[in-house]
Amino acid sequence: MVNIEHLEWLSKLSRKEFYDLLEKALAELNPIELLQKQAEESRQEACGIREKGEKDKKAVKEYRNALMLYLIIFAITIPFCILIYYSYKKKLNKMEEKINQQINDVLIVANQCENKAQDKRNNVVYLPAVPKGYCYSLALETMIEIIANGRANTWQELADRYEEQYHRWTLEEMSRKKLEAQIRQAQATEETLQQARKAANWAAIGAIGSWTTAAGVWSRR
DSSP string, 97-160: HHHHHHHHHHHHHHHHHHHHHHHHHHT-SSGGGS-GGG-SHHHHHHHHHHHHTT--SSHHHHHH
**pLDDT of 112:** 87
- Apex 192 CA angle, 190 and 198, nearest 5: 105
Total domains present in the chain: 2
Say whether both 98 and 167 belong to one domain. Answer: no
Integer Cα distance of 26 and 5 in angstroms? 22
**pLDDT of 203:** 61
Residues of the chain with pLDDT under 50: 1-4, 213-215, 217-218
Domain residues for the domain of 164 are: 154-208
Answering whether pTM is above 0.75, one says no
Q: Which of 32, 2, 33, 26 is nearest to 144 (CA)?
A: 26
Torsion of CA 13, 17, 19, 20, to 10 degrees: -140
Residue 213 belongs to some domain of the structure: no
Residue 6 belongs to some domain of the structure: no
Say whether both 161 and 119 belong to one domain. Answer: no
Say whether both 29 and 105 belong to one domain. Answer: yes
**pLDDT of 81:** 67
**pLDDT of 2:** 42
Last residue of a domain, one of 133, 163, 193: 133
